[in-house]
Amino acid sequence: MKRTLNILALTAVILATLSPVAPVYANTGPLVRVKDIANFQGVRSNILIGYGLIVGLAGTGDKAGPVTQQTMVNILERLGLNTKSQMAQIQSKNIAAVMITAELPPFARQGARIDVTVSSLGDAKSLEGGQLLATPLMAADGNTYAVAQGAVILGGFTAEGRSGVVTKNHTTAGRIADGAIVEREIDFELTELDKLRLILKNPDLTTAMRMSKAVNKSFGENVSRAIDSSTVDIKLPERFAEYRLPAIEKIEKTMVRPDMEAVVVIDEKTGTIVMGEDVRISTVAISHSNLTIRISELPQVSQPPALSEGGQTVEVQRSNIDVEEGQGHFSVLKKEATLADLVKGLNALGVNPRDVISIMQTIKAAGAMQARIKLL
């Protein structure tokens, strides 16, 4: 009997050794709060825009133009001064027409203050020292939600002399801290919603499923379900009917480990490359050689001999072309190479960011990169 048990135990060990082992995927990435990767539907900012006039500039405003002139005439008329007949005589360089933009945050109440940004609309040289006159700010529905006014703060300056100009940063755009007062509120109450809906900032099906499971675990029952890669619906239990805000706080503080797509972002304009850690490279050999072509123009002057008749002095172009081609080197990346292996291999070749972009696109074209390339 004892011998039979030993044989059965040995057989079990052999079968376990021969059985295929399921791959184990480590949960990489940090735990983050739900509020950092998702928003509640309806809880959003609203864009405001307006057109106004900045006064008090030291001769750096717009030149005489119909838009700026008409704006000033309209403002003076609202103040009881009729200047239409003298419109052509208005030649002030101390004013500038500007566009005002702002974001109305969610649940902004009447009387609250928000920051605004002003940008020159005409040919003003600088908005330094300017004062924005009262300007209504409208949303996409055409209603006025705030009124902006205040002193403009720039992040630079301009100093001009007779023979030169010194400019630091951008002087035709600035900000007004707390420069607008909210006059109208958005009609939206979070506590009146029967169903809550989370919208992921970066849509991903795996992240949505993990978020739904984490919320259910936090409440101890099934209160949420993932609808698609960007939406998670939450139906709060009846016991939270009068305690919606604590329940929403509980949801926002729930910790989730988000998943991310393997993607390589390339900005060809600046030569910037950003790669996620999940980018994988199959077995591939990379060869890189530098080809440099230099063209030098050396104009020479040809003069006729002394005392010659009919000769002319002419300029003759001489071009010198040099071609240098570096020796190609192969760098082999092994199977299942990681991002670190790829970067190490490219650094070993001594390539610059522009060449890296070309190499990355070629690796993708060869089917050796398991990632999506996103061009900006």
Tens of pLDDT, residue by residue over 344-364, are 666 666 667 777 777 777 777
Pair 121, 70: CB distance under 8 Å? no
Q: Are residues 268 and 361 in the same domain?
A: yes
Q: Which amino acid is at 199?
A: I
Tell me: do 320 and 360 sit in the same domain: yes
Q: What percent of the chain has a predicted confidence (pLDDT) above 90?
A: 21
Note down the domain range covering 227. 191-256
Q: DSSP string covering 128-150, please?
A: TT-EEEEEEEE-TTS-EEEEEEE
Same domain membership, residue 134 and residue 248: no
Residue 310, domain member (yes or no): no
Q: What share of the chain is helix, strand, coil (3-state, %, to 5)?
A: 25, 35, 40
Q: Kindly report the CA angle at 121 between 117 and 126, in degrees rounded to 5?
A: 75
Residue 118 pLDDT? 94
Stronger pLDDT, 292 or 339, i.e. the higher one:
339
Residue 169, C-beta contacts closer than 8 angstroms, at least 6 positions apart: 154, 155, 156, 157
Residue 306 has a pLDDT of 67
14 pLDDT above the threshold of 50: no
Instruction: Quickly count: other Cβ atoms within 10 Å of residue 106's Cβ.
Output: 14
Q: Give the pLDDT confidence score for residue 23 in this predicted structure.
A: 37
- Residue 224's domain is classified under what CATH number? 3.30.70
pTM flag (> 0.85): no
Q: Which residue has the tokens 């008090």?
A: 56
Q: Is residue 21 over pLDDT 60? A: no
CB of 170 closer than 8 Å to CB of 153: no
- For 203-223, write each residue's pLDDT tens digit: 889 999 999 999 999 888 898
State the Cα angle at 23 between 18 and 29, rounded to 5°: 160
Residue of 123 and 341 predicted with greater confidence: 123
Q: Are residues 250 and 271 located together in one domain of the fold?
A: no
pLDDT at res. 279: 76
pLDDT of residue 117: 94
> Do 242 and 348 belong together in one domain?
no
**Dist. CA 6–CA 241, nearest whole Å:** 62
The answer to whether the CB of 282 falls within 8 A of the CB of 336 is yes
In the numeric block, the tokens 């600035």 are attached to: 174
Q: How far apart are CA 372 and CA 350, in angstroms?
A: 24
